[in-house]
Amino acid sequence: MAYAEISREVAEIVKKSAGDRDVEEFLVELVAARLDPPQRVEAYLKLHEKYLREAEELYQRGDLLQAGEKYWGAVAALLNAIADKRGWEHYSHRDYAVAIDRLYTETRDRELVVGFRMAEGLHANYYHNFMRREGFELHREAVLRLVEKLRGLLGL
């Protein structure tokens, strides 16, 4: 499969425009604005799968800092898919928290809230590196359960 190539100059512009965000996530969000709703959801699901695969690979290699951020990305991508499908805003961390609250209100499943807070912990750890392996394991397990529950809400 052939992939588009971009010049170094354009790549630098894109990276700078993305700021602290993952460049691929940034590009998916830009392109998503031009897609119809089912295509947007599919794009977010592909991004979720990529992040989850990378998280597991990094985890296996022992790079917990990077793995934790990829687990966060996998959760955020699923929340983007759910929110987009339901017509909810999903442009900020706050929007993700609101989506989780709405899903909890709908399902009364406390593990959604707990899993989301654990995913936030992994995200914070990426920036502050405070988590020991044992704590990381607890967070990872809760996040993997959350991923399964969110996928279930999407009918996957």
3-state SS assignment for residue 74:
helix
The reported pLDDT for the residue numbered 2 is 54
Of the ranges 23-32, 91-100, 108-117, which one carries the lowest mean pLDDT score?
23-32
CA-closest candidate to residue 76, choices 97, 106, 56, 60 = 97
Which tops the pLDDT comparison, 25 or 139? 139
Residue 148: enclosing H or E segment and its boundaries? Answer: helix 133-153
pLDDT digits (tens, 9 = 90+) for 128-155: 999 999 999 999 999 999 999 999 999 9
pLDDT at 1 over 70: no
DSSP assignment of 39-72:
HHHHHHHHHHHHHHHHHHHHHHHT-HHHHHHHHH
pLDDT band for position 99 (50/70/90)?
A: very high
What is the rounded distance in angstroms from the CA atom of residue 81 to the CA atom of residue 41?
Answer: 5
Exposure string of 53-84, with b = 16+ CB inside 10 Å and e = fewer, is: ebbbebbeeeebeebbbbbbbbbbbbbbbbbb
Mean pLDDT of the chain: 92
The CATH code belonging to domain 37-153 is 1.20.120.330
Phi/psi at 60 (nearest 5 deg)? Answer: -60, -35
pLDDT band for position 30 (50/70/90)?
A: confident
pLDDT at 34 over 90: no
